[in-house]
Structure 1
Amino acid sequence: MPCKARLGEVAGDPGVSLATAARKLLDTMPGAKDSTLARHLRRSGWPDVTADQVGRVLQGLNRQQPQRHPAPAKKNPLRSQRLADAAKAAQGKHPRLGIRKVTQKLRKTGWPAVTEDEVRAALAAPPRPASLTPLIPARPLPTPRTRPDACPACGVVVGSLGLCRCS
């Protein structure tokens, strides 16, 4: 994390104490560790400061810790897709079945731990694409040769200098 305070801004005033300089840095870098603050203070005019000294100086301050959000639970997309396929197949065979009956059928046919909420979400999922192959070809289609003296790559008639569009 780069320090926003430059040499001379924090330590330029001879009357600035270590506590003031550390607080100014902490304002620009909330949640920084003592060692990080000490490193930035050493770069900005406090050559002999240590992380312990910075920690003691800032001990009474209410420091903001960086917020850590828990990682969202990972879903298995393959399982979700298989469940969606199975649920849609079960409902396709019996279109008048409700969520509860579809869940019961799925439990009987190999999904013993499936819940009604999972089945509801699976049935609400968008349909799976018919093919995973791209609709656009990977390389352009060759242009048809209209004349025998046309270039096989671009289809343009080669001129008197032996040049076409691709050369």
Structure 2
Amino acid sequence: MSPQNIIVNGGFESGSLEPWVSSFVFVTQQYTNSGSFAAVLDGGQNVDYLAQYASPIVPGNSYTLTLYMAKASILPAPPVQIQLLFLTADFQSVGRSTFLIVPTESIPFAELDNWRATTVATDVAPEGAAQIFLLINTLPDPGSTDILVDDVSVTAVGTGPTGPTGATGATGP
């Protein structure tokens, strides 16, 4: 059984951004890594972001984020940052967060059917963690192109904390 993706609408196949929270982001059918839709973070002079609270998570597990990115034209890509934060049920930060800066020159042109796969592993979710906050954002860069994001997933790695030791069995022959 494959691990469950706790991101909802990570492929944007609903044709909308729901339940993502976003600014300067829209859905397109022009370029996709798979399926019919992808999200577009508008390049240029704005801070664009795409964010989601993902749950349930299990303290003691680590998590892997996988997403695919491409740029919409031959213009330079803007700086892209990805953050994963562990939060309690009442949205308080707990434990260490994961932060990644994606090198702009590593983001390929979507028209060539070439997307960058990005995979990031978190630390182990600390006690009290109930959800992950995922934030994907671009930084202002006049003259930069749009960034496409598709097939976003966050899956658990590991089986949670170790339980108590069981009873010792009879000695064998």
With normalisation by structure 1, the TM-score equals 0.25
Structure number with higher helix proportion: 1
Which gives a bigger RCO, structure 1 or 2 (Cα 8 Å, sep 6+)? 2
With normalisation by structure 2, the TM-score equals 0.24
